[in-house]
């Protein structure tokens, strides 16, 4: 690294980040709009008395294998109980908990609270449970709220991956899951 630093010809100051940040008066409404339009996710708003397991089953009635370690979620497979990530192959739906949501781009911080983080990416469909009180306006606020989990990994996820480089056709789920459902509590 010192040799690389010794060959730096020109340096630049860090950018000034003191500009006014984007703030939404209705963070939840803005989050839902961005999630369902730009991110391509589905949003389910839980109501008083709703059973989260019924909401998941209603959203994915044909799911044979649901993987999750989220307390209160009935799952067929626990990502903490499998020996290797490949054991999660064939998972129809993974259910994870998000800690911070961002209205600006509908990204949700998913801390690794499970032994096999592949559960977030190997499934056909991902369900993210998010507390509406944890939605912020912009990424500056989101980064200030991130707490790195003990397992040392986390990821911002907003919706299914998309690509249009194959014959100019838009394809969802090219790199991971085909769809995302966000359940707001």
Cα 151 to Cα 6, 114, 140, 148: the distances in Å are 35, 8, 23, 8
- pLDDT tens, position by position, 75-114: 999 999 999 999 999 999 999 999 999 999 999 999 999 9
Q: Where are the beta strands (DSSP E) in the chain?
A: 42-45, 66-68, 93-97, 100-102, 108-111, 125-130, 135-136, 154-157, 162-166, 169-172, 179-184
Q: Is 77 helix (H, G, I), strand (E, B) or coil?
A: strand
120 part of a folded domain: yes
Backbone conformation region of residue 90, classed left if phi is above 0, alpha if psi is from -120 to 50, else beta: left
Residue 133 in domain: yes
Q: Is residue 6 part of a domain?
A: no
Report yes or no on 95 lying in a domain.
yes
User: pLDDT at position 173, please?
Assistant: 64
Containing domain of residue 38, as a range?
21-184
Q: How far is CA 147 from each of CA 17, 27, 79, 154, 182, rounded to the nearest angstrom? A: 21, 21, 21, 9, 21
At residue 39, does pLDDT exceed 90?
no
Report, as an integer, the average pLDDT of 122-145: 95
Q: Are 109 and 144 in contact (CB under 8 A)?
A: no
Considering the domain boundaries, does residue 4 fall inside one? no
**Phi and psi, residue 173, nearest 5°:** 75, 25
Q: 73 lies in a domain?
A: yes
Residue 52 counted as domain residue: yes
pLDDT band for position 10 (50/70/90)? Answer: confident
Q: Dihedral, CA atoms, 47, 28, 154, 174, nearest 10 degrees?
A: 90
Q: Are residues 113 and 69 in contact, defined by beta-carbon separation less than 8 angstroms? A: yes
DSSP code of residue 67: E
| 182, 31 contact by CB (below 8 A) | no
CB atoms within 10 A of CB 35: 28
Please check the confidence at residue 15 and state whether its pLDDT lies above 90: no
For the stretch 157-183, pLDDT in tens is 988 877 777 677 777 666 678 899 999
Whole-angstrom Cα distance, residue 81 to residue 84? 9
Q: Is 65 inside any structural domain? A: yes
Residue 171 maps to which CATH number?
3.40.50.10420
């Amino acid at each position: 690294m010192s040799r690389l630093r010794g060959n730096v010809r020109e340096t630049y100051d860090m950018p000034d980040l003191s500009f006014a940040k984007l703030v939404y008066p209705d963070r939840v409404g803005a989050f839902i709009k961005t999630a369902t339009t730009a991110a391509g996710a589905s949003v389910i708003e839980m109501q008083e008395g709703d059973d989260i397991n019924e909401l998941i089953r209603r959203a994915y009635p044909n799911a044979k294998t649901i993987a999750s370690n989220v307390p209160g979620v009935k799952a067929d497979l626990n990502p903490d109980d499998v020996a290797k990530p490949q054991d999660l192959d064939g998972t129809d739906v993974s259910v994870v908990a998000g800690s911070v949501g961002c209205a600006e781009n509908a990204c949700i911080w998913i801390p690794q609270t499970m032994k096999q983080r592949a559960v977030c990416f190997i499934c056909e469909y991902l369900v993210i449970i998010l507390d509406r009180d944890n939605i912020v306006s912009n990424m500056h606020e989101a980064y200030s709220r991130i707490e790195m989990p003990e397992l040392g990994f986390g990821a911002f996820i907003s919706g299914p991956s998309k690509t249009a480089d194959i014959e100019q056709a838009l394809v969802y789920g090219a790199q991971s899951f085909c769809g995302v459902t966000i359940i707001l509590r």
